[in-house]
Structure 1
Amino acid sequence: MATFFGEVLTFSSRAVDDDDDDDEDQSQPWIPSPELEWSEGINEEINKSPNKLLKCSNLIVTVGAAAAGFVEAYILQNEAAKIGDITAGKIDSEGSTARHQAHSNRESALFRLRTHPGVIVCQCKQEILAEQVFQWTEKIFSQLDTTSIEVLVLDSCPVQSYKAAVSISEIQTPFLRCLRSSPAHSQSQPSRVPFLESPNTVKGLSAAVLTHCQVSNLPASLYVAFLESMFIDLDSFKVFTPLLQSTVLSNITKANKTADNILKKILDERTLKDSLYI
């Protein structure tokens, strides 16, 4: 089975002078901590709870446009209320690289299902900076009552990053792979999705969430879709549909005859946005 990694630890070399370290630190851009802001009603609910935490039986985290679109069409449509945001904050542009400037002001929207109040969905349509994923994860889990929580993470990445014994051209795309924390292995039914083979790994926010759950002994399952292209199409969304029958989603979703129309609308809006020149 493949492994996952979250927080990256950097070690200083004894061959580098301490003054050199100080100069290097000063040249790095300031990376703000993510800020979690609940709606007024949720703040009141948290303050009234005995442990000052929000009850949550299922946390669903979507990373990227494909997973976000799937959840929007099959879970959030007419069944959810927005309850908060996690804002990545503005990154200091002085001395920063173009990459840092391009990733400022990233937000993750939080929703709660009206029909299942214990289910919270965090929708991250854009990438969270690698420097912020650990704090992002700590921020949200510190606000939730995880006594009986089950975590589901949906992510995607290009098939070019997939390592296999056969040529990528021989693999039918898109396809799903799975990783689980140890508690999920013992508590959940066997996965119908193949496990991610070694030496493949996952990274970013998905890895941070799964690592947190592993360390905290929480059941969590990550499903990553390997996509043929960076451009999203209907197949990119629908690769996640088997999860509607084989995961916790089977208990919180119902047949949605308009899902295809919603996905086409999302795709059209995204295509229009990607085609604009700024």
Structure 2
Amino acid sequence: MFGFEIQPVRSRNWEIEEEEDQEVVSVEIPKPSISFVNDNYKLEFNNNNDTPFNIIVSTNGSPSIFVKGCFESNQFDEIADISYSDIKPLKTTNTNTVLNNKCTVYRHKIEKSMIFITVQYDLPSERCFGFTELVLNTFKNVSQVLVLDKILNTHYLSQNYTHPIPPFTRAIFNSLFKNDYSLTPLESSNIIENLSASFLTICQVKYIPACSILNLYESHLNIESVQSFTPIVKSIYPQLFNNSSLKQEDITSQFKLMINALNKRNDKGMYM
């Protein structure tokens, strides 16, 4: 008589019980720390109750290239660094500071209420809320936050499957931000992540107007994408451009130097 050999099997219930019995090991998320250039800055910001700050946060790549190319050379005072114990800065030349794997905090020399934070390392999503809380707790009296970011960084889920051609920028903002600048909104989002999400969310809770300007991520960056931030930032903070002694050709030259350095690193997979 023919039959099938019965093979012993493992119960799925037993596997579930085994998984439940395993000890869950929690991993502590590294916390950021801020180091001021000198104690005077630390005392000034810790005791400030009068000056409302406008903060511009730029993420790695084209956003930080825009900020550094437009303002860093002669309009910024470096006031602090935001660091993590497991993220090491890299040595770079003066023209390639956009590759230094650091987060530097600047204040505008003339418009002293303007704070710039260039985040030149990639932050995992689980670190973004801690980073945002550190920033907003350091500069307690914040009037508005503007994040310059890339769409890819937000892990934005879209129903629009067309492929826009750069330069391409869209805005996403919390309910407290007044769009008086004709910014083109991104289609209604169902989820965003990382620094744009953390700043928009925490600023909403703290009643701070916040907006994120997003452009495309490009594996080979072009100057048009970097320059696409210019009219937007100029419309929101025109005072930043009124006192600039830099000519447009000088700014463009700075953009090109940093773009070439970034593209060369991406092409060769190495830092300069």
> Is the structural similarity TM-score above 0.5?
yes
Match of 2:43 in 1: 44
Match of 1:226 in 2: 216
Q: CA deviation at 1:164?
A: 4.5
CA distance in 2, matches of 1:164, 1:132: 28
1:88–1:107 CA contact under 8 A, matched in 2: no
2:61–2:262 CA contact under 8 A, matched in 1: no
Match of 1:262 in 2: 254
2:225 to 227, 236, 239: 236
Match of 1:82 in 2: 78
Match of 1:252 in 2: 240
Distance 1:165 1:150, change over 3 A: closer
SS in 2 for 1:32: coil
Aligned residue identity for 1:239 = S
2:107 to 108, 112, 117: 112
Distance 1:161 1:152, change over 3 A: closer
Question: In terms of mean alpha carbon deviation, does 193-202 or 231-240 score higher?
Answer: 193-202
Larger radius of gyration: 2
Q: CA deviation at 1:161?
A: 6.0
CA distance in 1, matches of 2:134, 2:177: 22
SS in 2 for 1:217: coil
Aligned residue identity for 2:124 = L
Distance 1:35 1:21, change over 3 A: farther
Q: CA deviation at 1:56?
A: 4.3
Correspondence list, 1:1-278, <5 A: 20=20, 23-25=23-25, 28=27, 30-40=28-38, 41-46=40-45, 49=47, 55-90=51-86, 107-146=102-141, 149-158=143-152, 163-165=158-160, 167-168=162-163, 171-185=164-178, 189=180, 191-199=181-189, 201-227=191-217, 229-248=218-237, 250-254=238-242, 256-257=247-248, 258-276=250-268
**What is the TM-score with the length of structure 1 in the denominator?**
0.75
Aligned residue identity for 1:238 = Q
> CA RMSD for the aligned pairs?
3.0
Q: CA deviation at 1:16?
A: 7.0
Deviations 1:5-52 (A, max 9, x none): xxxxxxxxxx976984863325x4x431111112213123245x365x
1:87–1:107 CA contact under 8 A, matched in 2: yes
Aligned residue identity for 1:42 = Y
2:168–2:225 CA contact under 8 A, matched in 1: no
CA distance in 1, matches of 2:48, 2:256: 44
Q: CA deviation at 1:205?
A: 0.9
Q: CA deviation at 1:158?
A: 4.4
CA distance in 2, matches of 1:74, 1:202: 28
Percent sequence identity over matched residues? 22
1:62–1:123 CA contact under 8 A, matched in 2: yes
Aligned residue identity for 2:33 = E
SS in 2 for 1:45: helix
CA distance in 1, matches of 2:152, 2:167: 9
CA distance in 2, matches of 1:45, 1:197: 41
Q: CA deviation at 1:269?
A: 1.9
